Amino acid sequence: MAESDSSSDQPPKRKKRLALFAVLGVLLFALAGAGGAVLALGPDRVMALLTGGEAAEEEATPPEPGSPEDIAARKAKQALVEVMPLDEMIVNITAITATGRRTSRFLKLNVALAVDPEAEGAERVADREPYLRDSVQDFLRHLTEDDLQGSAGLALLKTEILRRAREVTDSEAPREVLLSDLVIQ
């Protein structure tokens, strides 16, 4: 008889579990919806909707065309740069074969510099191009094929070329290095 009493207790426990899971599911769904609303609308607008108040709207009046504010805003948006391509560079680099033997490979590189013409010393960038090429080629000759593997290799290459461009020109005018071709053969 005791067995029949314990078997009759299981369905109410099961119903309680299902009810608990349903409540937890609804809570989780509500939290996810609230999080999505905050991401989509922003915290200020969600709070305004919940409290019945008005959201603080940022009403920025556009500056009058041709005014100094308008010109400054347009310059900030455009990020003025001049692209200065360097001549193609071909250098020997070292590669290690599967057997551990050192071999020589060719690296062909086409590089351009994004230069800020407004920066101090921007006029020196074009004048110092031969020195910049020499410095970059010196760096490239010390690389191995493994140094140029993957995105970390490209990041190293771009960072070092930019550092050398700034050092050779003695200015912050070079802003970015653009790689159009990188071939190892």
Identify how many contiguous H helices and E strands the chain contains and give both numbers.
6, 4
Q: pLDDT (tens digit, 9 = 90+) per residue, 131-177?
A: 999 999 999 999 999 899 999 999 999 999 999 999 999 999 999 99
Query: Which residue's entry shows tokens 């579990």?
Result: 17
> For the chain, which ranges sit under pLDDT 70?
1-10, 53-60, 73-79
Rounded CA-CA distance 54/45 in Å is: 8
Domain residue limits, the chain: 2-51, 80-184
In DSSP terms, 181 is beta-bridged to: 110
CATH node for 80-184: 3.30.479
